Chains A and B, each alone.
Chain A
Amino acid sequence: MPNSGIDALLSVNNLTRLGQGLAVTLKLSIISIAISLALGLIYGIAMTTKNKLLYGLLKLYLEAFRVIPLLVWLFLLFFGGARAFGADTDGFTASVIVFSMWGTVEMGDIIRGAVQSIPACQRLSAEALGMTKARIYRHVIIPQAVRRFTPAAINLVTRMIKTSSLAVFVGVTEILRVGKQIIEFNMMKNPMASFWIYAFIFVVYFIICYPVSRLSKRLEAKWEY
């Protein structure tokens, strides 16, 4: 029987290593997403400011992440930062910082949009019913803002999980890097290894991101009004 090369994937040792790589990917993503949510809430609410100067600065920060590739940010912090400050930044920390800075502005922009999309007359009609400010927020403003925020935020979460693979370029041993190591190790005796390993990683990303993206679609449909 000809060697299909799938044994590069099926060895217990390799699967364990891929699993560890996946754990790093998830850890990196989850930490960045959590920070982005927390700081994004502050950033997003700050974006609704009437202060032109503050808004200008926040907007500039947002645009900086929209126009400059994330990889450039990552290199800048990892290599440039190490040079400039003599700090020995490790790849994982550098990745968390850059992904969080980026996630914060994207999450913030979504939150800003959600809050601002609630028309002023909604608040006015609730006030006309004699409701207190707190109750208006609880029953009228927040439920509507959350409905507009959630699908876009979930979408961003899948983007952040996918983007975490950039960490491979600053030496983080996440799933993609583990895959490459296994392929390089098997290069001579098993040329098909790269196919099986990448196919496996493909499926793993799909299994993680697809349900999340489906959830976002489901919520969108459910909350459509």
Chain B
Amino acid sequence: MGILARGDDSVEILKIKGLKKTYGGKTVINGVDLTISRGEVAVVLGPSGCGKTTLLKCVNGLESHQGGVILFNGQPLGEGGLKWTLARQKIGMVFQSYDLFPHMTVLSNVMLGPLRAQKRAKDEVYAQALELLDRVGLSDRRDDYPRQLSGGQKQRIAIVRALCMNPELMLFDEVTASLDPEMVREVLDVMMGLAKRGMTMLIVTHEMEFAKAAADRIIFMDEGVIAEESEAGDFFKSPRTERAKRFLNTFYFD
């Protein structure tokens, strides 16, 4: 992973225009426009069921969309554009459930994608895998199986597994949501570290303090649309919409 300049607004890495997604007859994403610049950290907030996961899955084609376009480095994704298998090699994704491959060691988990999808040389991938594992403090667990690791450790490995593909954009979907509270921090720290190194990230989270600290921009979704888009500082100080105010209030107690 290269060290990139932070917040260089001139380079659009991801551009979503008029995105629509339906399940059966039900519209779940109803015309989303979103632009992410290289090096930017955008955090998606919103109530349960508003379409955050669906939006992320549409970006790397794990869900098909029924309208609109997704451009990655100016190139359309999916049918007629960049093939999804290639797009996914540049757009990493980490899920809420840390689903490492249970029949493989930590190292094999991390090396699978680079070797089998990207067909890179083994020596080079091995060196990178060790370096990344070291960075999250887990290089000594490289020969362990996932069952021997804690939830927080597994989730850090899952992040490393995605990073080892040298992605240009990382998608995170509530990666700390099913962790025990004392393990949340170690995972968020890894993500903070990535932000500092200039990784472009689109993050769905319910960790408000983390969102405040890490985000350049907050994207607030409600009922399948982007209801508000603000600088992170502004959003938490003075949200512009009623819906965002109501949402933020649910996180505070009187």
Q: Which of B86, B101, B102, B145 contacts A130 (CB 8 A)?
A: B86
Closest CB in chain A relative to B88 CB, distance in Å? 4
Chain A to chain B contacts (Cβ below 8 Å), 11 pairs: A121-B97, A122-B101, A124-B99, A127-B62, A129-B112, A130-B85, A130-B117, A143-B103, A144-B101, A225-B102, A225-B145
Closest CB in chain A relative to B163 CB, distance in Å? 12
Judge if A131 is at the interface, Cβ distance under 8 Å.
Answer: yes
Chain B 53-86 interface mask (CB, 8 Å, partner A; 1/0):
0000000101000000000000000000000111
Q: Specify which chain A residues have a CB less than 8 angstroms from the CB of B146 in the assembled complex.
A: 225
Cα separation A127 to B162 with both chains bound (whole Å): 12
Interface locus among A81-89, A132-140, A185-193: A132-140
* Residues 145 to 184 of chain B near chain A (Cβ within 8 Å): 145-147, 158, 161-162, 165
The reply to whether B95 and A129 contact each other, CB–CB distance below 8 Å, is no
Judge if A223 is at the interface, Cβ distance under 8 Å.
Answer: yes
The reply to whether A128 and B62 contact each other, CB–CB distance below 8 Å, is yes
* Residues 168 to 188 of chain A near chain B (Cβ within 8 Å): none
Q: Specify which chain A residues have a CB less than 8 angstroms from the CB of B92 in the assembled complex.
A: 128
Give B residues with C-beta under 8 Å from A. 60, 62, 84-89, 92-93, 95, 97, 99-103, 112-113, 116-118, 145-147, 158, 161-162, 165
Q: Specify which chain B residues have a CB less than 8 angstroms from the CB of A129 in the assembled complex.
A: 88-89, 112-113, 117, 161-162, 165
Q: Specify which chain B residues have a CB less than 8 angstroms from the CB of A139 in the assembled complex.
A: 112, 116
User: Of all chain A residues, which has the CB nearest B96?
Assistant: A121
Give A residues with C-beta under 8 Å from B. 119, 121-122, 124-132, 135, 139-140, 143-144, 147, 223, 225
User: Of all chain B residues, which has the CB nearest A138?
Assistant: B116
Q: Which of B62, B95, B103 contacts A223 (CB 8 A)?
A: B103
Interface of A is mostly: helix
Give me the 9 closest cross-chain CB pairs, A-B, nearest first.
A129-B113, A130-B88, A130-B89, A130-B117, A121-B99, A128-B93, A131-B117, A225-B102, A125-B99
Q: Known interface pairs A124-B62, A225-B145, A225-B147. Does A131 touch B99 (Cβ–Cβ under 8 Å)?
A: no
Cα separation A128 to B161 with both chains bound (whole Å): 11
Cα separation A33 to B84 with both chains bound (whole Å): 42
* Other contacts beyond A130-B84, A131-B85: 12, CB < 8 A: A121-B99, A124-B62, A126-B101, A128-B88, A128-B92, A128-B93, A130-B86, A130-B87, A130-B117, A143-B103, A144-B101, A225-B103
Cα separation A128 to B113 with both chains bound (whole Å): 9
User: Of all chain B residues, which has the CB nearest A120?
Assistant: B99
Q: Specify which chain A residues have a CB less than 8 angstroms from the CB of B62 in the assembled complex.
A: 124, 127-128
User: Of all chain B residues, which has the CB nearest A119?
Assistant: B99
Q: Known interface pairs A127-B88, A129-B165. Does A147 touch B99 (Cβ–Cβ under 8 Å)?
A: no
Q: Known interface pairs A128-B92, A144-B102. Does A135 touch B117 (Cβ–Cβ under 8 Å)?
A: yes
Q: Known interface pairs A129-B112, A143-B103, A225-B103. Does A121 touch B85 (Cβ–Cβ under 8 Å)?
A: no
Closest CB in chain A relative to B251 CB, distance in Å? 28
The reply to whether A147 and B86 contact each other, CB–CB distance below 8 Å, is no
User: Of all chain A residues, which has the CB nearest B61?
Assistant: A127
The reply to whether B95 and A125 contact each other, CB–CB distance below 8 Å, is yes
Cα separation A139 to B196 with both chains bound (whole Å): 34
User: Of all chain B residues, which has the CB nearest A146?
Assistant: B103
User: Of all chain A residues, which has the CB nearest B85?
Assistant: A130
Cα separation A140 to B109 with both chains bound (whole Å): 10
Cα separation A124 to B95 with both chains bound (whole Å): 9
User: Of all chain B residues, which has the CB nearest A224?
Assistant: B147
User: Of all chain A residues, which has the CB nearest B100?
Assistant: A125
User: Of all chain B residues, which has the CB nearest A129?
Assistant: B113
Cα separation A135 to B88 with both chains bound (whole Å): 15
Q: Specify which chain B residues have a CB less than 8 angstroms from the CB of A119 in the assembled complex.
A: 99
Cα separation A109 to B96 with both chains bound (whole Å): 32
Q: Which of B103, B118, B162 contacts A144 (CB 8 A)?
A: B103
